[in-house]
Amino acid sequence: MIHTIKRPDGCNLLLEIDDFTNPWGDAPWLFMIHGFAESRQAWRAWVPHFARDFKVLRLDLRGFGESTAMTEDFPWSMEVIMKDIEAVVRAVCKTPVHLVGAKSGGTFALEFAARFPELVNTVVGVTPPVIAAQGVEDWINSIKADGVLAWARSTMTGRLGSRVSDKEVAWWVNDVQGRTSEPSLLGYLSWIPGLDIRQSLPKIHVPSLVITTTGSGLRSVESVRVWHATIPGSKLHVIEGDAWHAAGAYPDLCSHIVRDFLAPRLNITA
């Protein structure tokens, strides 16, 4: 089921709900936030793992997917993204959610859990950058020079790992990242180098899990351990793999890890 939520600035946020829970029940919400230059489509393989026990909500962040594209000069900020997520939780879910985010969507999920503990039951960040990755300038130059498609193609093997098939790369390039509006991308990239949520991490008091990979070209496991240790009581799961986008490259494995994390807190099997 597709819904749209109109924000005060005119932006339409699109979200999709997959719900195969008992219709008379009060199933919990699993709220999924995709990463940079993606859309709710990035989560498609996750849905069957959760939709019998959770009402699964996949949001297209503003600027991405089928939500309204942003102009290049749009003043991106953590504040505006937090308010979008808050609006969707309050309007659609109406109860605290289990939040899962991938890549920068994981960063937003962690930040949201720190700011809105009353709206979050648990939070999972899959390969989240808590500090912006190096090389954003190169990405901006690449997109400006050669366009979104070429940029997506040139970065995809690092994102999805060395074992990814050509067909899989083609889908992510042509049907997900390559479809993102260029002004949205460029505006977002001009904001993202300042991203740093390390101050927020100690304020996360809901149960949390971070998933990272051993062979990410963007960050080492040790660098993740340093900031992860500042989240009270948080769990860390390290996957053997060389993708920096574990949620996209290893969706079934990640889904099992997240179910294992959530199962003791809910009346579901792992």
Task: Give dist(CA 120, CA 136) in Å, integer.
Answer: 30
Check residue 20 for interaction with another protein (CB under 8 A). Answer: yes
Beta carbon nearer to another protein, 29 or 188:
29
Provide the total of helices (H) and of strands (E) in the chain, helices listed first.
10, 8
Q: Minimum distance from CB of 26 to another protein (Å)?
A: 11
User: Does 167 interact with another protein (rule: CB under 8 A)?
Assistant: yes
Cα distance between residue 58 and residue 56, in whole Å: 7
State the nearest-atom distance from the C-beta of 41 to another protein, in Å. 8
Identified binder of another protein from the candidate list 5, 11, 17, 45, rule CB under 8 A: 45
Question: Per the structure block, which two tokens stand in for 165?
Answer: 């098939």
Nearer to another protein, 22 or 141 (CB): 22
User: Taken in order 244, 173, 37, 72, is the CA torsion positive or negative?
Assistant: positive
Q: Cβ(238)–Cβ(221) under 8 Å?
A: yes
Q: Which 168-227 residues touch another protein, going by CB under 8 A? A: 168, 170-171, 175
Beta bridge partners of 182: none
Choose which of 3, 7, 52, 83 interacts with another protein (CB under 8 A): 52
What distance in Å separates the CA atoms of residue 186 and residue 203, rounded to the nearest whole number? 31
Question: Residue 79: how many CA atoms within 13 Å on its side-chain side?
Answer: 2
- Name 120's bridge partners: 97
* Whole-number Å distance between alpha carbons of 200 and 111: 6
Segment near another protein (CB under 8 A), from 16-24, 90-98, 179-187, 259-267?
16-24
Whichever of 80 and 149 has its CB closer to another protein, that residue is 149
Closest approach, Cβ 30 to another protein, in A, equals 12
Is 82 a residue that touches another protein (CB under 8 A)?
A: no
**Under rule CB under 8 A, residue 22 binds another protein:** yes
Beta bridge partners of 122: 98
Q: Any idea which residue has 């009270």 for tokens?
A: 232
Determine the interface stretch with another protein among 145-153, 165-173, 218-226, 239-247 (rule: CB under 8 A): 165-173
- CB of 104: closest distance to another protein in angstroms? 23
> Contact, 248 vs 172, CB < 8 A?
yes
Stretch near another protein under the rule CB under 8 A, chosen from 3-11, 29-37, 47-55, 142-150: 47-55
> Residue from 3, 11, 48, 149 that binds another protein (CB under 8 A)?
48
Instruction: Extract the tokens encoding 137.
Output: 């300038």
Question: Which stretches of the chain bind another protein, using CB under 8 A?
Answer: 18, 20-25, 44-45, 47-52, 165, 167-168, 170-171, 175
